[in-house]
Amino acid sequence: MSSPYHPMQLVFGLAIWAVWFVMIYAGLSIACEHLVEMEGGTLSWVNLVLMAFTMLTCGLLLFLAHRTWRDARPSWRDQSSAGRFIVRTAVMLNLVAALVTLAVGLPVVMLPPCL
Amino acid sequence: MTDHEAPLSQEREHGGKPLLDAAEQHNKLVRVWGNPGGLRVLTVVNHTAIGRYFMITGAVFFIIGGLMAMLMRTQLALPGQDWIPPHIYNQLFTMHGTVMMFLFAVPILEGVALYVIPKMIGARDLAFPRLSALGYYCYLFGGIILMTSVVLGIAPDTGWFMYTPLSDAVYTPGLSADFWLIGITFIEISAVAAGIELVVSIMRTRTEGMTLQTMPLFAWYILAMSLMIVFGFPPLILASILLELERAAGLPFYDVLRGGDPILWQHLFWLFGHPEVYIIFLPAAGIISTILPVFARRPMVGYRWVVVSVISTAFISFGLWVHHMFTVGIPQLAQAFFSVASMMVAVPTGIQIFAWLATLWTGRPVFEVPMLWTIGFLVIFVIGGLTGVMLALVPFNWQVHDTHFVVAHMHYVLVGGMFFPLVAGLYYWWPHLTGRMPSKVLAHWGFWLTFVGFNLTFLVMHLTGLLGMPRRVYTYDAGMGWNWPNLVSSIGGFVMAAGIAVVILDLVLHGLAGRRARINPWQADTLEWATATPPAPYNFVSLPKVSGRHPLWEQPDLPETIAEGRHGLTSINHGRRETWGTDPVSGRIREIIHLPGNSWWPFFSALALAFMCIGLLAKVYVIALAAALVALGLLLRWAWENGTHPAAAPDGRTAAGEPPLHSRTFDGPGLWGMGVTLLANGSLYMSLLFGWFYLWTVAPQWQLPEHSHLHWPLLLAASLLMPLGWLWLRRLIARLRAGDDARLQQGLWWLALLGCGQCLLLIAGWWRSALVPGDTAHDAVITVFLMYTLLHCALATVMALMQAWRARRGYVSRLAPYEPLLVEYWWGYSAVTTMVSFAALVLWPLGWGGA
Amino acid sequence: MRIAFNTVFKFAPLLLLAACDGPQSTLQPAGPAAHTAALLWWGMFIVATAVTVMVTVFWLWAMRPRETMLPALRARQLQKRLIIGGGLLLPLGASVVLLAFGIPAGHSMLPLATDEPPLRIEVTARQWWWQVHYPEAQVTTANELHLPAGRPVDVHVSSEDVIHSFWVPRLGGKMDMVPGRVNVLRLSAAEPGVFRAQCAEFCGLGHAHMHMPVTAHTEPDFQRWLAQQQRAPDERQAEPALASAFREHCSECHALRGVSQGGAGPDLTTIGARRTDILGWLTQHAQQPPPTPAPDHGQLAPGQLADIADWLQRSTEAPND
């Protein structure tokens, strides 16, 4: 499944995004319910943690896009058009996932966590 | 169509295959594939018939839902009217939404997919014909049960999203909510079944040479829709089961005082509810992506862009659900995640719209009736999408949430994004379904009345909402500024109803008596136009090899050559229904998939399940239990007739040069079906886990029970035994792969014994835990976990028993090694969930703060 | 003819604007939160209309009948521009602009800390009426909300039964009233006036009638109103027989200052000020809309109902000042 030509490559990127999404929403909710003073109106350590996690995930997805492309190059000419299609599409999808991760995570640098 | 004077050179051109006598071949195929008449019509499993049933039944429900809407609009035309009293009106708006969403939108699009997909991918039928028949009957019986509540005047009346606490037993005593919870869950089985079926069919039954990259875009859309159904419906199934348990058995999940939370219902509902609308939109967009290139007379622009958009939409739509809950009191940062995500999902949709635009612009468009509806779709859907982006902006949402603005928005996206493409698709495929061409004049009348009527009804409704009129009100006061907009909307409603009546009339009239269609009347590129119109039950006499995305443009004589039997899989003397089993990526032939013929099992299984539902509704639990056992028995007996069973494919021989039958290999549609089913199952389980952690961390009055203690040693033993069984089964299979089935039967009996032991351990552990599920949500959720685990272990045991018995009868052996692999998937899944349940129920509380 | 045309042109915008007015209209804002939301709406409306027109025009233009296709190179260029420009950049750009305005706008509507703590009002919903409580002044009333204009007010909302939603469209967004939780909605009326609140979450048979007047007073008027509410009329003590009849038949559900603590029903301390025909309502409400979960009052206190109702009417009217 780690071959860049495997069809599951098409879903790995957005699946990672989905897991990231669940974790930041759940993490934020639990932090606000149990760990943080609700009256705080400023950015706090919660924002930092969430932002770091977002950047990490975005970086991971960009890296996956890069790695898929890089791993596919040596055997490019020997592949069928279906294989090449999977690689190109998977790279695009990983980039989409990275973009959506960054976009959805952006409010973390703007808003206090628990208001 | 056979040309008996064909020169020899023509024969050799097509690979020297002997020409078949078309009429004789057709008769042989019909003997194997034919649909019987009379009472035996209830045994039909063929996708063409089942697809038609879904479409016709869906259309009937559409009319019912539409009539309900007309009653509401009549009442709302003037202020202060109450000739429909509130208790009836509340049933009307609830059932209008429920019927349209569950009984019309999803099933009718499923019907289109079930009908079109096998033909488009060059297959003779879907992968699990009996499953699609079961799905249809579950839908039909569930719909009848729900309509019974309407006739009796006790229809559900708390809105189609059934928010708690309004829908719980305290505020809605009586049966109305139970009709919804039980009836809709029954119908959802049908949707999930269709979803599983379509995924496997698209991945494994495409014709030779149809790669992942050359399959029609419609197949990509339906693949995405089906996977979304698989992941998206189970949260609602779980939520409904929990609410029904709360109503009928007093187990609290949503009741604040006992540790539950009404917001949990909203989360679970919308986790389903948002993907649901994309499940409805994607197949409709797929229809547009199919029609547009044909009428632009060029291939679709940006195939890869569209695939990326479809997959992106499918995933991202699961991250939007809280935008239906922006006023519930969730903190702003969390809301911002969903606000941004809701805007991001507009990007892939925008890409599709501009890809369509580019296709038109760089093509040579021809104006036919389907294109009229396509333009209507574009205008209405773009408006709907734009108001959707507006609604995604939280401060604006706070004003218009739960007002008629939202009603306007959702009708724009649903009618524009689903109904208009559906009608375009019906006009497009009408020659295929009926063999006759649709009209022009009447069709134009139908379109314009509907288009103008729709906009008259719903455009001004945006203003009605902005003027402050909430949703779901049976009447309103004069002097609010709402009088004239409501009157306009009501008049528009009648115009639209007239338009729809004209459309239905047009389709029916021309379907019965229209001009006869020639082959491929629209000069389309996809394979479904290579069948006869209307199609024969076997679709294709021979299955072609395709190499590009546009088979009928690349090889315009395909309809003839297929009918002449010049391509693959023409042998029929063995009496089996067969289609190719191909590699999911390359389309290389791997095996021959043999399919079941007409069967009574689906109809009677659905009937038994219907009686179970009726028993649950009437609270006569003896009937419910008996019906459940009968249903289980029927389903097991159905499963018995597989593989090498005399009623299936006892003779595994295939013609020279042809691959083996799938049941004689280690792969096949059933394995994939089990895999996809476990994805749906996993989604339900994850929803349950979510519910547990959610209540534990944020329920307003979460409480631990006074006395009950989970008997963790017995549960630990159970969760260790299950993986052992799984490993044991894996060993048996490894031996099978090596060709050794000497002790297979014995091994399977031991496995069944282990399964029994597992179940007993669970039951003992449950007994010793002294739970009081009616007192606290804590114990109620644990009870559900235990029920889930026990059900899975029991089914695992039953499967092992069946396999052991089949091995004894010789149906499973090293020559037919296929079935144990399905059972292994189930055992593996059950083992993993049992261990995770132990971790969640026993280990987590230790960490979080006291069990 | 030309004069008529000009007249229509001049007054049409006014007519259109008038069409946007109403006691519950979000487009006739009377407070900063509602004003922000209305501005967001108009901005988005203009852009959405432009996009709709543009896409429709493009589509119709692309549909025009022609015999030849564009040459391949031109076609590829156009396709790329359309997909990337229209499909990718347009939605992304629009989202960025929307969020740049929307996130700060939403933030400004939150109950953020202020120098002076805002007035706190507690509204609790039940099927199908509103209990309104002023904790600082210890005033409880029902189905009417009064607040001072010109300063922020924090409305703490909750529910005793099903989910309702508190919404005063001319002042700001809505907030769901969820049992087991207390949500806070910050409202502020720019000027004194009378507005309307309506329940915006379907809550059963009486949902359509669950609304109430919201009155913003000048600060002195508001203080005067509060003071009026705090006084328990002396007349009540002057008719002890009727007071005890009230206690016998009505006090299980209803509070009345100086007479009973009450229970599940509305506080009747100022009922006479908002209802002019108490007896009529008591005897007829079970047969007419709006529905109420209350028992049929016409069956209670046989023989004494008219007297109790009359006493209630007289003794709870707002005293002249």
- In chain B, whose CA is at the least distance from the CA of A31? B697
Residue C213 and residue C257 in one domain:
no
With beta carbons less than 8 A apart as the criterion, state whether B783 and B814 touch.
Answer: no
pTM value?
A: 0.94
Kindly state whether residue C83 falls inside one of the protein's structural domains: no
Residue C285, pLDDT score: 82
Residue C310 and residue C217 in one domain:
no
* pLDDT tops 60 at residue B579: yes
- In chain A, whose CA is at the least distance from the CA of C96? A103
How far does A1 lie from chain C, in Å, by closest CA?
31
Q: Which residue has the tokens 């593996």?
A: B828
With beta carbons less than 8 A apart as the criterion, state whether B692 and B215 touch.
Answer: no
Residue C115 and residue C157 in one domain:
yes
Tally A–B CB contacts below 8 A: 101
Which tokens sit at B359?
């296709």
How far does A64 lie from chain B, in Å, by closest CA?
16
Among C180, C195, C229, where does a domain finish?
C229
Considering only the beta carbons, identify the residue of C95, C103, C112 that sits closest to A41. Answer: C112
* pLDDT tops 50 at residue C197: yes
pLDDT, mean over chain C = 88
Q: Which residue has the tokens 């006759």?
A: B436
Condensed to tens digits (0 to 9), the pLDDT of residues C139-157 reads 888 999 999 999 999 999 9
* pLDDT tops 60 at residue B501: yes
How far does A113 lie from chain B, in Å, by closest CA?
6
Q: For residue C8, what pLDDT band results from cuts at 50, 70 and 90?
A: low
Cβ–Cβ contact A37 with C under 8 A: no
Residue B579's beta-bridge partner residues?
A: B593
Condensed to tens digits (0 to 9), the pLDDT of residues B315-338 reads 999 999 999 999 999 999 999 999
Residue C150 and residue C292 in one domain:
no
Average pLDDT over residues B665-681: 95
Mutate to test the interface with C, among B316, B391, B398 (most CBs of C within 10 A): B398
- In chain B, whose CA is at the least distance from the CA of C183? B329
Residue C170 and residue C191 in one domain:
yes
Condensed to tens digits (0 to 9), the pLDDT of residues B186-233 reads 999 999 999 999 999 999 999 999 999 999 999 999 999 999 999 999
Residue B341: list chain A partners with CB under 8 A: 21, 100, 103-104
Distance CA B396, CA A107 (A): 18
With beta carbons less than 8 A apart as the criterion, state whether B493 and B486 touch.
Answer: no
With beta carbons less than 8 A apart as the criterion, state whether B294 and B369 touch.
Answer: no
How far does C110 lie from chain A, in Å, by closest CA?
8
Considering only the beta carbons, identify the residue of A28, A34, A92 that sits closest to B308. Answer: A92
Residue C183: list chain B partners with CB under 8 A: 328-329
Among C186, C207, C229, where does a domain finish?
C229
Cβ–Cβ contact A7 with B under 8 A: yes
How far does C232 lie from chain A, in Å, by closest CA?
38
SS3 B91: helix
The C-alpha angle with vertex A107 and arms to B268 and C39, in degrees rounded to 5, equals: 90
Distance CA B205, CA B127 (A): 7
Listed residue (B609, B600, B289, B268) closest to B428, CA to CA: B289
Condensed to tens digits (0 to 9), the pLDDT of residues B798-847 reads 999 999 999 999 999 988 898 999 999 999 999 999 999 999 999 988 87
* pLDDT tops 60 at residue B248: yes
Q: For residue B520, count other CB atoms closer than 10 A to its CB.
A: 20
Beta strands in B469-512 (DSSP E): none
How far does B305 lie from chain C, in Å, by closest CA?
8
With beta carbons less than 8 A apart as the criterion, state whether A64 and A94 touch.
Answer: yes
Q: Which helix (H) or strand (E) holds A114?
A: none
Q: For residue B20, what pLDDT band results from cuts at 50, 70 and 90?
A: low
* pLDDT tops 90 at residue B280: yes
Total domains present in chain C: 2
* Contact call for A93 and B312, based on CB within 8 A: yes
Name, in order, each residue with C-beta under 8 angstroms of B797's C-beta and a sequence gap of 6 or more. Answer: B752, B755, B756, B758, B759
Distance CA C45, CA C60 (A): 22
Q: What is the 3-state secondary structure (H, E, C) of B727-792?
A: HHHHHHHHHHHCCCCCCHHHHHHHHHHHHHHHHHHHHHHHHHCCCCCCCCHHHHHHHHHHHHHHHH
Average pLDDT over residues B399-424: 97
Distance CA B562, CA B540 (A): 7
* Contact call for A115 and C112, based on CB within 8 A: yes
Which tokens sit at B471?
């949703």
Mutate to test the interface with C, among B168, B393, B406, B409 (most CBs of C within 10 A): B393
Distance CA B714, CA B716 (A): 5
Residue C39 and residue C169 in one domain:
yes
Residue C185's beta-bridge partner residues?
A: C155
The sign of the dihedral angle between the CA atoms of B706, B712, B713, B715 is: positive
Cβ–Cβ contact A8 with B under 8 A: no
* pLDDT tops 80 at residue B400: yes
Listed residue (B170, B134, B107) closest to B45, CA to CA: B134
Q: Which amino acid is at B155?
A: A
Considering only the beta carbons, identify the residue of C70, C179, C206 that sits closest to B165. Answer: C179
Kindly state whether residue C242 falls inside one of the protein's structural domains: yes
Instruction: Report the topology of domain B45-513.
Output: Cytochrome C Oxidase; Chain A (1.20.210)
Q: At C285, which CATH number?
A: 1.10.760
Distance CA B655, CA B667 (A): 20
Residue C48 and residue C175 in one domain:
yes
* pLDDT tops 90 at residue B257: yes
* pLDDT tops 80 at residue B666: yes
* Contact call for A114 and B307, based on CB within 8 A: no
* pLDDT tops 80 at residue B608: yes
Q: For residue B19, what pLDDT band results from cuts at 50, 70 and 90?
A: low
Kindly state whether residue C188 falls inside one of the protein's structural domains: yes
With beta carbons less than 8 A apart as the criterion, state whether C180 and B256 touch.
Answer: yes
Residue C112: list chain A partners with CB under 8 A: 41, 115
Condensed to tens digits (0 to 9), the pLDDT of residues B55-93 reads 999 999 999 999 999 999 999 999 999 999 999 999 999
Among C229, C263, C287, where does a domain finish?
C229
* Contact call for C48 and B476, based on CB within 8 A: no
Listed residue (B646, B659, B542, B545) closest to B29, CA to CA: B542
Distance CA B53, CA B797 (A): 36
With beta carbons less than 8 A apart as the criterion, state whether B253 and B311 touch.
Answer: no
Residue C261 and residue C205 in one domain:
no
SS3 C318: coil
Name, in order, each residue with C-beta under 8 angstroms of B726's C-beta and a sequence gap of 6 or more. Answer: B824, B827, B828, B830, B831
Residue C254 and residue C123 in one domain:
no
* Contact call for A82 and B337, based on CB within 8 A: no
Beta strands in A1-115 (DSSP E): none
Q: For residue C195, count other CB atoms closer than 10 A to its CB.
A: 25
Q: Which amino acid is at B6?
A: A
Residue C243 and residue C216 in one domain:
no
The interface pTM score, or ipTM, of the predicted complex is 0.96
Kindly state whether residue C85 falls inside one of the protein's structural domains: no
Considering only the beta carbons, identify the residue of B312, B319, B333 that sits closest to A113. Answer: B333
**Largest Cα–Cα distance of chain B, in whole Å?**
90
Kindly state whether residue C5 falls inside one of the protein's structural domains: no
Residue A107: list chain C partners with CB under 8 A: 103
User: What are the residue ranges in chain A where pLDDT is below 50?
Assistant: none
Condensed to tens digits (0 to 9), the pLDDT of residues C55-81 reads 999 999 999 888 888 888 888 999 999
Residue C318, pLDDT score: 62
Cβ–Cβ contact A58 with B under 8 A: no
Distance CA B321, CA A25 (A): 12
Cβ–Cβ contact A26 with B under 8 A: yes
Return phi, psi of residue C268, to 5°.
Answer: -100, 15
Kindly state whether residue C184 falls inside one of the protein's structural domains: yes
Helix A9-30 crosses helix B303-316 at what angle (to 10 degrees)? 30
* Contact call for B350 and C91, based on CB within 8 A: yes
Strand order in the sheet with C139-142: C139-142, C129-134, C119-126, C153-159, C183-187
Q: What share of chain B is helix, strand, coil (3-state, %, to 5)?
A: 70, 0, 30
Considering only the beta carbons, identify the residue of C95, C103, C113 that sits closest to A41. Answer: C113
Instruction: Provide the residue range defining the domain that includes C205.
Output: 20-65+110-229
Residue A76, pLDDT score: 86
Residue B533, pLDDT score: 84
Q: Which amino acid is at C274?
A: R
Considering only the beta carbons, identify the residue of B346, B366, B466 that sits closest to C25. Answer: B466
The size of chain A, in residues, is 115
Average pLDDT over residues B339-354: 96
How far does B190 lie from chain A, in Å, by closest CA?
26
Residue B168, pLDDT score: 95
Kindly state whether residue C206 falls inside one of the protein's structural domains: yes
CATH number of B703-848: 1.20.120.80
For chain B, give the percent of residues with pLDDT over 90: 86
Residue C210 and residue C241 in one domain:
no
* pLDDT tops 50 at residue C320: no
Kindly state whether residue C1 falls inside one of the protein's structural domains: no
Q: A105-109, B176-180, B681-685, C111-115: lowest mean pLDDT where?
A: C111-115
Residue C245 and residue C267 in one domain:
yes
Tally B–C CB contacts below 8 A: 272
Distance CA C64, CA C68 (A): 12
Distance CA C54, CA C51 (A): 5
Listed residue (B164, B83, B477, B485) closest to C211, CA to CA: B477
Average pLDDT over residues C296-316: 82
Listed residue (B477, B335, B464, B342) closest to B411, CA to CA: B464
**DSSP code, position B80:** T
Cβ–Cβ contact B697 with A under 8 A: yes
